[in-house]
Amino acid sequence: MIRLKNAAPESRTFDDIQDATSWAMARELELGRKPTHGKQLASRLGPTLREALERYASEVTPRKKSFRTELGVISRWLKNPLVDLPIYGIRGADLTAYMNQRLARGIAIATIRTEIALISHLYEVARTDWGYEDVLNPRKAMRRIQQGNVRDRRLRPGEFDKIIGWCERVGDYWLNAAVSRFDLARYIANKLIHLLTS
């Protein structure tokens, strides 16, 4: 689609981006205007959010300690319709709408913050590492996410004694030996299963 001042918008559909770029530039020249920017249309569109997320998942996420969790966040994003937009076309209003939809579904604010933080970091990586210096981070154009649904549960009468009793039965062997969290969790899970089944 091309939009020129004092002219009706024009649009056409093409099979590939090169044809679209050629048509847009030729049409702008026909109308006696310079093409809108020095950069070609294809480079202004950049990759789609899907392509950027896939690249982020393969290049950035594996270097993080929490890569498994982040891969889950990325897979949720890949199911969202926003991923089919080019990264230059996503605005703060789009992320705000996404946030409101997630809030309406009862998703915790901390989860939504994590999801939007991933997109924000993706844009920073795209700017600094991938050569899209002029892309604007849509997170910076949306309102700040307010803290919500903070956990405020207190122990009920008798719960503290149950916890202490369980700790005394299990013991504090993990303080005296170097054991991985995975092995410790597996051991405790086996003990709990044994207690529940006996």
> 188-198, pLDDT tens digit by residue?
888 777 777 76
Tens digits of per-residue pLDDT, 128-144?
A: 999 888 888 999 888 87
Flag whether pLDDT at 3 surpasses 50. Answer: yes
Compute the distance between CA of residue 111 and CA of residue 74 in angstroms, rounded to an integer: 12
Q: Give the pLDDT band of residue 14 (cuts 50, 70, 90).
A: confident
0.75 exceeded by the pTM?
no
Query: How far is residue 3 CA from its own chain's centroid?
Result: 31
* Alpha-carbon span 180 to 131, nearest angstrom: 41
Identify the DSSP state of 144.
Answer: P
